[in-house]
Structure 1
Amino acid sequence: MSVTFVIGGARSGKSTFAEMKAKEYAENVLYLATAVVTDQAMADRVRKHKEQRPKSWSTLEMYRDFKNLVNFPEFTNSDAIMIDCITTLIGNFMFDSKLDFDLCSIEKVNELEEKITLEVMSLIEVCNCNNKKLIIVSNETGMGVVPSYYMGNYFRDISGRINSKISHRSDFMYFIFSGIPIKLKHKGEMVKWPQDF
């Protein structure tokens, strides 16, 4: 079992690179699609992603209850699992929560973040316990303009903290910059900052 984490900005080529790694890892791949189609733009994105994936791959549309993956033959019959993407998963949880992020307490936001974190960690655990190679795709949300509204700020902060937790559980990590992959981590080795940084 191994975890490969692929992160980058929007339309940076993350999915294409992650799919390439999945093809390297196994022939039997399960694709976990976290997107929920809510408008024409999302429908177009989903269509394009489907068209570029190998037809032989299995697909499950899900972003929660990953502990139940063991009940799906698509999971048991696959050697590698690819989830695309974590930030969409986070957005789905935030929408499902029905919280008014302009008015709700920070305690409610923290509870939601903990719920999302446990869900993501459960995916890593179920793949680990079943000897699956896992490829995780996520957006780097902390390098752009600071959102001017509460929900955007919470989304950015939750994404950043969950991405950090995934990176520490990963064996391999790549940052995709304008279509170019930059290796950040290989089998537990990360770049160390100078002591006085």
Structure 2
Amino acid sequence: MIKTPSLIFISGGVRSGKSSFAERKAVEIANELGGQLNYLATGVPSDPEMRLRINKHKQDRVAGKYCWETIEQSNQIEKIADRLNGQDIILLDCVTTLLNNELFFSEQEWTEPFLNSVSDRIITGIKCIKNRAKTLIVVSNEVLYEPLDGNTIVFTYGRILGKIHQLLVKEADQAFLVEAGVPIVMKGVIR
């Protein structure tokens, strides 16, 4: 019996091919073991570029030969857990956008308790979804290659994202870094 990975973490730079790779992984699992493909979209159409990206992703999923259910939840992702069952394959795209939404759409001052609560809420939401679904594939941007000094907001964001990435890789059955469309195994056995 093939063990289905319950959490797959995929990171990479902007336009690295990580979302396409994540979609292929989800389809591979659905083809091998069955299950409903679900796309948990965290993007908010806040500007023309983001509207174009969201529309392109939607069109790509509709035009494909696989039937994706799209769930739009820009924050508090734990709210969708009750809608899921053990046959759902969830692709969460992406953690960096989710973190943006949790931080910047709040009226809260960026105190340490607030920042910790944001990180905890994201991890808790991911765990809730993971515990209800067959497989959860989490996509995130790798933004920590550049120095983060000089800007307090950028440094704080990078620190929180780094913490979330570390916790996700620790929890994950498989973890990949995608560079120029090539997935590099960070953790786990590939079947």
TM-score range, shorter chain: 0.7 to 0.9
Residue in 1 aligned with 2:97? 88
- Partner Cα distance (1:71, 1:162) in 2: 23
Alignment of 1:1-197 (within 5 A): 2-26=6-30, 27-53=35-61, 54=64, 56-72=67-83, 75-76=84-85, 78-99=87-108, 108=111, 110-146=112-148, 148-186=150-188
- Partner Cα distance (1:37, 1:85) in 2: 14
Give per-residue Cα distances to partners, 1:132-167, cap 9 Å, x unaligned. 200000011110243632212211111111111111
Q: CA RMSD in A?
A: 2.1
> Aligned with 1:76: secondary structure?
coil
Give per-residue Cα distances to partners, 1:75-114, cap 9 Å, x unaligned. 33852011000000111111122356xxx5xxx1x22332
> Aligned with 1:120: secondary structure?
helix
The TM-score with structure 2 as length reference comes to 0.83
> Aligned with 2:74: secondary structure?
coil
The TM-score with structure 1 as length reference comes to 0.81
The answer to whether the 8 Å contact 1:28/1:77 transfers is no
Change (3 A) 1:88 1:147: farther
Count of residues paired in the alignment: 178
- Partner Cα distance (1:23, 1:59) in 2: 15
Give per-residue Cα distances to partners, 1:59-89, cap 9 Å, x unaligned. 11113333332443xx338520110000001
> Aligned with 2:70: secondary structure?
strand
Residue in 2 aligned with 1:194? none
Q: Kindly, what percent of the aligned residue pairs are identical? A: 32
Q: Runs ≥4 in structure 1, deviation > 6 angstroms?
A: none
> Aligned with 2:15: secondary structure?
coil
One-letter identity of the residue aligned with 1:49: H
- Partner Cα distance (1:139, 1:112) in 2: 22
One-letter identity of the residue aligned with 2:107: K
- Partner Cα distance (1:117, 1:84) in 2: 17
The answer to whether the 8 Å contact 1:64/1:119 transfers is no
- Partner Cα distance (2:167, 2:128) in 1: 16
- Partner Cα distance (2:86, 2:131) in 1: 15
Change (3 A) 1:162 1:70: closer
Residue in 2 aligned with 1:192? none
Tell me whether 52-61 or 174-183 shows the greater mean CA deviation. 52-61
Please, which runs of 5 or more residues in structure 2 have no aligned partner?
A: none
Give per-residue Cα distances to partners, 1:11-54, cap 9 Å, x unaligned. 10110000000101125111111111111011111112112224
One-letter identity of the residue aligned with 1:84: D
